């Protein structure tokens, strides 16, 4: 199994929806098999939040990363879920992806590959 050390940038989301109060204070959380849960700050009063927050992560080849988009000011916190299946990269590669959020909008992420751990060959 190939393991990648990356910088995962949660860039932005577009076309989100507000709750019945009309207020959305969106944030995103995610985790990988080898990285603890990480969370962006809340972005206040916008249906198109821009975080541009970078997180170090360790990701396995073919791993599915689930992003939870939530509203910090709502009783029903979940805004939507987006998923991304990681595919091979080379060191130094940068990938920018627009991922559909289930039932609402799009999440934009940027992944920068910093290191690759190859399994030992026998």
The candidate with the shortest Cα–Cα distance to 37, out of 46, 47, 27, is 27
Query: Quick check: is 120 in a domain?
Result: no
Q: What is the pLDDT of residues 23-43, one digit of tens each?
A: 789 999 999 999 999 999 999
| pLDDT in the model for residue 23 | 77
Query: Quick check: is 115 in a domain?
Result: no
Query: Quick check: is 118 in a domain?
Result: no
Query: Quick check: is 122 in a domain?
Result: no
Query: Quick check: is 113 in a domain?
Result: no
Query: Quick check: is 119 in a domain?
Result: no
| pLDDT in the model for residue 122 | 56
Name, in order, each residue with C-beta under 8 angstroms of 64's C-beta and a sequence gap of 6 or more. Answer: 83, 84, 85, 86
Q: pTM for the full model?
A: 0.91
Which DSSP string corresponds to 47-109?
SS-EEEEEEEEEEETT-EEEEEEEETT-SS-EEEEEEEE-----TT-EEEEEEEPTTS-EEEE
What share of the chain in percent tops pLDDT 70? 96
**Residue 80's CATH number:** 2.60.40.150
Query: Quick check: is 97 in a domain?
Result: yes
Higher pLDDT, 84 or 17: 84
Query: Quick check: is 114 in a domain?
Result: no
Least confident of 6-15, 46-55, 72-81, 103-112: 72-81
How many domains does one find in the chain? 1
Distance of CA 40 to CAs 31, 49, 62, 94, 113, Å? 12, 11, 24, 20, 20
Q: What is the pLDDT of residues 78-110, one digit of tens each?
A: 899 999 999 999 999 999 999 999 989 999 999
Could you list the residue range(s) of the whole structural domain that residue 84 is in? 3-108
């Amino acid at each position: 199994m190939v393991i990648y050390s990356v910088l995962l940038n949660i860039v932005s989301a577009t076309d989100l929806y507000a709750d019945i109060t009309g207020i959305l204070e969106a944030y995103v959380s995610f985790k990988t098999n080898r990285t603890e849960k990480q969370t962006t700050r809340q972005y206040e009063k916008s249906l198109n939040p821009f975080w541009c927050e970078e997180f170090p992560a360790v990701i396995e080849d073919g791993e599915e990363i689930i992003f939870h988009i939530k509203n910090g000011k709502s009783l029903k916190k979940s805004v939507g879920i987006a998923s991304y299946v990681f595919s091979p990269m080379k060191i130094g590669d940068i990938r920018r992806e627009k991922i559909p959020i289930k039932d609402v909008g799009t999440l934009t992420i940027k992944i920068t590959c910093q290191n690759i751990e190859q399994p030992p060959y026998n």
